[in-house]
Amino acid sequence: MTKPLHLIVAGGGIGGLAAAFVLAGKGHTVTVLEQSAAFGEIGAGIQLGPNIFKMFDYLGLTEAVNQVAYFPPGLGMNDVRTGEQVIRVPLGETARAAYGYPYGLIYRADLHQVFLDACRAQPQVRLRTASKLASFEQDAHSVRVQLASGEVLQGDALIGADGLWSRVREAVVGDGKPRVSGHIAYRAVLKRQDVPAHLWNDEVLLWGGERTHLVHYPLRRGELFNLVAVFHSDKYDEGWNTFGDSAELNERFANAVPQVRELLSRIETWKMWVLCDREPVRNWSDRRVTLLGDAAHPMLQYLAQGAGQAIEDAVVLGQALRHTHDDVQQAFQQYQQERYLRTGRVQLTARFYGDIYHASGVQRELRNQMFQGGQESAGFAGLKWMYQGIDPDNLFH
């Protein structure tokens, strides 16, 4: 290292905190700007593939994650109308044997807390709340960030980890609003004691139907039960924390098997969000400014890789700075060059999996036949390129 950099990270979500933790670990000073009054995450469950556990291992966070994660024995898909099993993929030791790392489930707020605690333990990380980025400008040597309060901060570089509606992306890429998929998701989390024994399932189970699906799985060592119902609709609000319409939800699942309808009936209050992504781009950097996570490559949730790809971004960014001896502009170019094809592939594959889950007519019959006939025993292996992850120590050679 020539000299420690002062790096400003816009966004205090999982991606922003992962970046701060990684970069502080490389000896840099990092200021994280969170626009809300407190650091926190919207409560919902997320799935963590082996590629993400590989990153936890690299970052020394495996133990902290394992304390709050849940490791399901399998992952399956049933037809929501008939109840027939479409496919089941064993996880547990099968996943570990295939990829060297497990497949797990975690409450998003718990994962965020792991990174928040890790950042708080780093003296080089400064965590700021109520600090909304309003604008920024840069010259050959530095970046100046103006906050909504009028305060101005100066640093060596800016990392936009400010999510789907990123203000930093607006200035760097300028591609307008996100692409609205037409899918909305309703989510809820139940305590285990509120789930009848005959409805409890230790596995990740997705009930796929025509333009709808329900997925459920345990969280937090089996203390909670996460449910996400997705369907196509033109009724939505742009945001992540809006109360949903139970009547529309029940209407969309009116033809579902009894256990699905009964599960949905156990929920008194649903939160909803509209699912959006963007077209993949190969350039998300401008000199001393770059993007990370959803700001760079927002994706639909059908591969459960949004948080994981943001964490991979953070690791690659740290390695790029090390490889370029902290030449910010060169590092940002190497970082995006290393990432854009992989993240773009996840973005596009996630769209395709949404079609598979929501298939109807001949497409549905073909899907069921292929999976049930074992022709797609690759249901898990078909994503080998994704789950094998990246090798941080062998980048940029």
- The verdict on whether 217 is a catalytic residue reads yes
Q: Encode burial over 230-248: b for 16+ CB neighbours within 10 A, e otherwise.
A: bbebeebeeebebebeeee
Residue 54 falls within a domain, yes or no? Answer: yes
Mean pLDDT by 10 residues, the chain (397 residues): 88 98 97 94 87 98 97 94 91 92 95 98 98 97 97 98 96 95 88 94 94 94 93 66 75 94 88 90 98 97 95 98 95 98 96 86 83 58 88 90
C-alpha–C-alpha distance, residues 288 and 211, integer Å: 43
Q: Please report the pLDDT score of residue 235 as a whole number.
A: 65
Q: Please report the pLDDT score of residue 377 as a whole number.
A: 47
Residue 24 falls within a domain, yes or no? Answer: yes
Residue 28 falls within a domain, yes or no? Answer: yes
Residue 88 falls within a domain, yes or no? Answer: no
The number of helix segments (H) and strand segments (E) in the chain equals: 13, 19
C-alpha–C-alpha distance, residues 221 and 105, integer Å: 9
Residue 388 falls within a domain, yes or no? Answer: no
Q: Please report the pLDDT score of residue 372 as a whole number.
A: 75
Read off φ and ψ for residue 50, nearest 5 degrees.
Answer: -55, -30
The two beta strands, 212-219 and 157-160, are unpaired
Read off φ and ψ for residue 187, nearest 5 degrees.
Answer: -130, 150
C-alpha–C-alpha distance, residues 264 and 251, integer Å: 11
Residue 389 falls within a domain, yes or no? Answer: no
Q: Please report the pLDDT score of residue 238 as a whole number.
A: 56
Q: Which domain holds residue 26?
A: 6-71+106-177+281-355
Q: How many other C-beta atoms are found inside a 10 Å radius of the C-beta of residue 145?
A: 23
Q: How many other C-beta atoms are found inside a 10 Å radius of the C-beta of residue 352?
A: 11
When divided into structural domains, the chain yields a total of 1
Q: Is 156 left (phi over 0), alpha (psi -120 to 50) or beta?
A: alpha
Active-site option among 70, 107, 186, 217: 217
How many CA atoms are closer than 13 Å to the CA of 364, on its beta-carbon side?
Answer: 20
Q: Please report the pLDDT score of residue 225 as a whole number.
A: 95
Report the CATH number at residue 52.
3.50.50.60
What residues does 9 pair with on adjacent strands?
32, 159
Residue 206 falls within a domain, yes or no? Answer: no
Q: Please report the pLDDT score of residue 298 as a whole number.
A: 97
Residue 267 falls within a domain, yes or no? Answer: no
Q: How far is CA 278 from CA 291, 299, 306, 310, in A?
A: 14, 7, 13, 15
Q: How many other C-beta atoms are found inside a 10 Å radius of the C-beta of residue 97?
A: 8
Q: Please report the pLDDT score of residue 378 as a whole number.
A: 45
Helix/strand/coil for 263: helix
C-alpha–C-alpha distance, residues 278 and 122, integer Å: 34
Q: How many other C-beta atoms are found inside a 10 Å radius of the C-beta of residue 196?
A: 11
